[in-house]
Amino acid sequence: AQKVTQAQTEISVVEKEDVTLDCVYETRDTTYYLFWYKQPPSGELVFLIRRNSFDEQNEISGRYSWNFQKSTSSFNFTITASQVVDSAVYFCALSEAPSTGFQKLVFGTGTRLLVSP
Amino acid sequence: GAVVSQHPSWVICKSGTSVKIECRSLDFQATTMFWYRQFPKQSLMLMATSNEGSKATYEQGVEKDKFLINHASLTLSTLTVTSAHPEDSSFYICSAGGLAGATQPTYEQYFGPGTRLTVT
């Protein structure tokens, strides 16, 4: 069975601090996909990144960076120089590779990030 | 591109009535749509997966007769909450994926903005 664990329920930081959101996953599949989504107070999910299990290269996009470590089954997300607009709930998710049809996403419980001025 | 809309964005209904929520892919055709439910301060829980033209596949514990899903076209799926009760109050989110006609498999799910249902 697939499982995603986000142990940090809530994190509070002051603007300009760096913050890392942890994500640990479990799967028996050798091919799978990992995702991060942002959910601001409005409720709409915002796609941040998708990474397949064969690509362990770290990725940077502006102030966002992701560290994928297959050896520890982790896919952590770091926000550098956080801003108030980063305040949201962040979800890590996992899906099997869509070998036959579209595969469902399994979400973690989310981490609420509060960035204060 | 890849915009998904939901209607209504919020709805308040009386206990015992039925409510229909629409999920539309506006600029693409999706072979598969998913319906999620999210309680306050909790994660998204998949309710069902629907493929165009076929019956929805429900997750364990989700009542098929209570949450009716219809996926009549490649751009529209509907979720009807029948005989709604206060415990059905939640945030319902749909997503669409599997671009019809794509030559390569696509793995993206595009999420709608959600519908907040309050049953009084």
End-to-end CA distance of chain B: 37
What does the buried/exposed string (b/e) look like for A90-105 if buried means 16 or more CB atoms within 10 Å of the residue's CB?
Answer: bbbbbbbbbeeebbbb
Instruction: Report in angstroms the alpha-carbon separations of A10 from A6, A70, A114, B117.
Output: 10, 25, 8, 26
Measured CA to CA, the distance from residue A5 to residue A81 in angstroms comes to 25
Q: Do B114 and A101 touch (CB under 8 A)?
A: no
Q: How many CB pairs below 8 A link A and B?
A: 57
By C-alpha distance, the chain B residue nearest A94 is B107
A107 touches chain B (CB under 8 A): yes
C-beta of residue B41 within 8 angstroms of C-beta of residue B14:
no
- Residue in A104, A106, A107 nearest the CB of B49: A104
Residue-wise pLDDT for B40-79, tens only, equals 889 999 999 998 888 899 999 999 999 999 988 889 999 9
Tell me whether residues A43 and B113 touch, CB distance under 8 A: yes
- The closest alpha carbon to B35, from B83, B61, B84, B68, belongs to B68
Q: Supply the mean pLDDT for chain B.
A: 90
- Cβ distance B26 to B4 under 8 Å? yes
Q: What is the pLDDT of residues B100-118, one digit of tens each?
A: 666 665 667 889 999 999 9
Nearest by CB to A91, which of B43, B51, B114? B43
